[in-house]
Amino acid sequence: MGKTVLVTGSATGFGRGVALGLARRGHRVVAGCQIWPQVWELRNAAKADGIEMEVIKLDVLNEIDRNKALGIEIDVLFNNAGIMESGPMIEIPMTVFRSVFETNVFAALELAQGFARTMVKRGAGRIVWTSSVAGLVKVPFDGAYAASKHAVEGICSAMCEELKPYGVQVVTVNPGAFRTGFNDTGMESMDQWWGQGERVVAHWPVRELDRQHDPAEMIEAMIGVIEAESPPYRTVRPARAEEMVRNEQAEIWDRRA
């Protein structure tokens, strides 16, 4: 039986792949895009491929957009919209740091809260959060994004236990480095402000992101988590990223300053 799934951040990357993939598999998909040109582009792309899918404007920072989305009855919220801003922790402007938390943490939590209340009353539902490998390990020069995903991990671990008695499932998906363009633009983002003032520590070393993985692997895993009757709480891809996370978390106990 098909599910009704709201996917945030559907214009590009994982969100787009998951939305189209779920729709192809017969689910009712509501795909949220940040701006109107993205809405029209995705609608036209779905139509050209013969895919039936509802595409709405959903800027997660926009209260009007959030309230409209919260009026839709869904089985699964895929809390996927996010941004990445890079830079050394002592240099990154606080306005930039706050913007990451506004999108990745606060706006996502507001959506989760709204849908969770309805799910609790119904006694069923699932909230899938796009976290990150960066939410589980140290990530120098990407501390703002990593901190936001560490916050997501804390929120999800609490919410999972709080909602379990009411029949509502909360799980995370944790991508490593995949070729969606997200990591590339996230690294480049610091160039917008780096030259605007004196800097006392090094810039993120310029390097090609040439070891990223095919996003199809992560998209398939995300669809599996949404469709499964009883998905794992945490899904990390690729497999070697999971191994890295487990090793680094074990090493933390012996780490010295």
Reading the block at residue 229, the tokens are 């009757």
Predicted TM-score (pTM) of this structure: 0.95
Asked whether the beta carbons of 78 and 226 are under 8 A apart, the reply is yes
Residues in the chain: 257
CB atoms within 10 A of CB 214: 10
Which of 14-18, 162-166, 239-243 has the least mean pLDDT? 239-243
Residue spans of alpha helices (H) in 60-136: 63-70, 94-101, 108-122
Binned at pLDDT 50, 70 and 90, residue 206 comes out as: low
Neighbour order of strands in the sheet with 28-33: 54-57, 28-33, 4-7, 76-79, 125-130, 168-175, 234-237
Supply the DSSP string of 199-257, one letter for each residue: --SPPPPP-----PBPHHHHHHHHHHHHH-SS--SEEEESHHHHHHHHHHHHHGGG---
Q: Exposure pattern of 56-95 as b/e (b: 16+ CB <10 Å)?
A: bbbbbeeeebbeebbeeebbbbbbbbbbbbbbbeebbbee
Instruction: List the domains of the chain with CATH numbers.
Output: 4-254 (3.40.50.720)
Residues labelled catalytic = 145
The pLDDT value given to residue 38 = 98
Backbone angles phi, psi at 239, to 5 degrees: -60, -35
* Per-residue pLDDT reduced to its tens digit, 235-245: 999 988 888 89
What letter represents residue 20's amino acid?
L
The mean pLDDT of the chain is 95
Query: Does the structure show a pLDDT above 80 at 1?
Result: no
Reading the block at residue 62, the tokens are 């926009």
Q: State the Cα–Cα distance between residues 146 and 113, nearest whole angstrom.
A: 22
Asked whether the beta carbons of 249 and 149 are under 8 A apart, the reply is no
The pLDDT value given to residue 241 = 85
Q: What is the DSSP letter of 138?
A: -
* Per-residue pLDDT reduced to its tens digit, 62-106: 999 999 999 999 999 999 999 999 999 999 999 999 999 999 999
